[in-house]
């Protein structure tokens, strides 16, 4: 499919993340302080809440005031048929062929200077460990290459239940956490600020329709509303002391940053690709009926306080061993109900080469090989004042389907009166 033309001229350039082919969904704060739902188009936002209020747009014939509260949670629960019909409405409104375009100009808001909000209410958050290169790298560091992957890894999407309350929208500062730390030569732990704070480059899948009981991989894919960029901030030294025997806990509870625009599955349909060949056959319930991954180019930049950014990693979402649909399917095997607004983190997305590694733990090989930035500074792990920015897009024929950016700046740990 070529670039679709819009009457919003900024949407017709090959460089924009938000052509008419994309139409991602976000939430923003208006001048009067209210939260509104919006659709990104070029460098503008179409105010969906205002259009609904004025009777120019409806989510469906049966529902009104779906966008009244300024996020997309209620809309997500309406299901795939409504999602498809609504996308067709928005596409028609913003198409270059729409003769009513002059009436819609007043419903456009510039993206620059507009405060973006969480685009949906996070019901539950689950983070997976489903990137093979990342799992192999981390396992090699701690157990050697011969035992890098746990025995179950090639059979099951490994994950853990995280904190929905810690999920924040891009642009939110992240304060360095305190926690229990114990070095290899320490007899006992101490309570101190994390010294090995890290990022994890991930994609997040958002559940739109709920489930009861187990679902198939195809049904799971049908349930997914869309995708966001996701940074799973990780306190490696806290994690090293706490993770046995039950896995991550406080090391992963500081923050999880997501990009403000939900790119719908419909926008990504032309970029589907298959998961890799299996080293051993998956159990039948996890086998996919068709391509369930996406070809999405990803990058991470790191900018020290007051200095230019360095691109520290480039990779692709197609490196995942398990798709989001497989992860969601497995999540339901116990009968666990999935809810509208559940967020699934993919796990760190790393490629085969050093420059493809999606965490500083891998890039610096546990701190043994510090990374040199373009500024001349080095990093083994994140320092106060560092700003991390994740970007991603799927490249089409003269256009791209972009996610915008997912950004966070590290604040000092600060005083802790309980330390």
- Which residues are CB-contacts of 261 (< 8 A; sequence separation ≥ 6)? 18, 24, 25, 26, 40, 119, 228, 403, 404
pLDDT in tens, 339-364: 999 999 999 999 999 999 999 999 99
pLDDT, one tens digit per residue, over 227-251 is 999 999 999 999 999 998 989 999 9
pLDDT exceeds cutoff 80 at 113:
yes
Residues whose CB falls within 8 Å of the CB of residue 400, separated by 6 or more in sequence, listed in order: 14, 16, 17, 19, 393, 394
Alpha-carbon distance of 13 to 386, in angstroms, equals 32
Percent of the chain surpassing pLDDT 90: 94
- Asked if the model's pLDDT at residue 96 lies above 80, the reply is yes
**Closest CA relative to residue 168, chosen from 349, 414, 411, 417:** 411
Task: Based on DSSP, count helices (H) and strands (E) in the chain, helices before strands.
Answer: 10, 26
- Predicted confidence (pLDDT) per residue in 287-304, tens digit: 999 999 999 999 999 999
Predicted local confidence at residue 130, as pLDDT: 96
Radius of gyration of the chain (CA): 22
What is the band of 156 on the pLDDT scale with cuts at 50, 70, 90? very high
Contact 316, 295 (CB under 8 A): yes
| Residues 35-48 pLDDT 10s | 999 999 999 999 99
Per-position DSSP letters for 181-217, written without gaps between them: E--TT-SS-EEEE-SSEE--EEEEEEE-S--SS---H
- What DSSP character marks residue 397? B
Least confident of 17-31, 60-74, 184-198: 60-74
> Three-state SS across 259-280?
CCCEEEHHHHHHHEECCCCCCC
Nearest by Cα to 296 from 270, 325, 261, 259: 270
Which contacts (CB < 8 Å, 24+ apart) does range 86-90 have? 86/59, 86/60, 87/23, 87/264, 87/266, 89/57, 90/23, 90/39, 90/46, 90/48, 90/57
The mean pLDDT value of the chain amounts to 96
pLDDT for 219 equals 98
How would residue 99 be classed by pLDDT, with cut points 50, 70 and 90? confident
State the pLDDT at residue 418. Answer: 81
Give the 3-state secondary structure of residue 227: strand
Do 362 and 134 meet the contact criterion of CB atoms below 8 Å apart?
A: yes
Which residues participate in catalysis according to the annotation? 134
pLDDT at residue number 101 = 82
pLDDT computed for residue 249 by the predictor: 95
Is the pLDDT at 110 greater than 80? The verdict is: yes
**Res 147: pLDDT:** 92
Whether 419 shows a pLDDT value over 80: the answer reads: no
Residue 412 clears pLDDT 80, i.e. is over it: yes
């Amino acid at each position: 499919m070529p670039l679709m033309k819009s009457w919003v001229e900024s949407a017709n350039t090959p460089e924009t993340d938000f052509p008419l082919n994309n139409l991602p969904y976000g939430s923003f704060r208006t001048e009067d302080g209210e939260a509104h739902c919006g659709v990104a188009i070029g460098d503008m936002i179409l105010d969906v809440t205002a259009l609904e209020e004025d009777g120019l747009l409806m989510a469906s014939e049966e529902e009104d005031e779906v966008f009244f509260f300024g996020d997309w949670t209620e809309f997500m629960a309406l299901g795939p048929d409504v999602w498809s019909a609504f996308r067709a409405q928005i596409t028609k409104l913003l198409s270059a062929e729409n003769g009513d375009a002059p009436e819609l100009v007043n419903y456009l808001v510039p993206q620059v200077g507009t405060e973006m909000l969480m685009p949906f209410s996070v019901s539950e958050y689950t983070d997976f460990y489903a990137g093979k290169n990342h799992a192999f790298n981390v396992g090699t560091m701690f157990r050697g290459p011969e035992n890098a992957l746990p025995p179950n890894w090639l059979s099951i999407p490994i994950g853990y239940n995280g904190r929905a309350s810690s999920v924040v929208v891009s642009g939110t500062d992240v304060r360095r956490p305190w926690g229990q730390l114990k070095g290899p030569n320490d007899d006992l732990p101490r309570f101190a600020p994390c010294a090995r704070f890290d990022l994890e480059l991930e994609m997040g899948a958002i559940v739109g329709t709920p489930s009861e009981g187990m679902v198939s991989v195809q049904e799971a894919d049908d349930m997914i509303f869309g995708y966001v960029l996701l940074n799973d901030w990780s306190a490696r030294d806290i994690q090293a002391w706490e993770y046995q025997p039950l896995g991550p806990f406080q090391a992963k509870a500081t923050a999880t940053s997501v990009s403000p625009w939900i790119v719908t599955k419909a926008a990504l349909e032309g970029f589907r690709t298959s998961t890799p060949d299996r080293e051993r056959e998956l159990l039948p319930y996890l086998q996919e009926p068709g391509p369930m991954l996406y070809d999405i180019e990803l990058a991470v930049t790191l900018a020290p306080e007051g200095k230019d950014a360095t691109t520290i990693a480039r990779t692709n979402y197609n490196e995942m061993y398990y798709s989001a649909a497989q992860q969601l399917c497995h999540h339901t095997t116990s009968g666990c109900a999935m809810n509208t607004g559940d967020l699934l983190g993919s796990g760190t997305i790393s490629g085969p080469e050093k420059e493809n590694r999606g965490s500083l733990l891998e890039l610096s090989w546990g701190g043994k090989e510090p990374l040199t930035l373009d500024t001349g500074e080095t990093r083994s792990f994140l320092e106060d004042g560092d700003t991390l920015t994740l970007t991603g897009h799927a490249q089409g024929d003269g256009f791209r389907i972009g996610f915008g950016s997912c950004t966070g700046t590290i604040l000092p740990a600060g005083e802790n009166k309980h330390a």
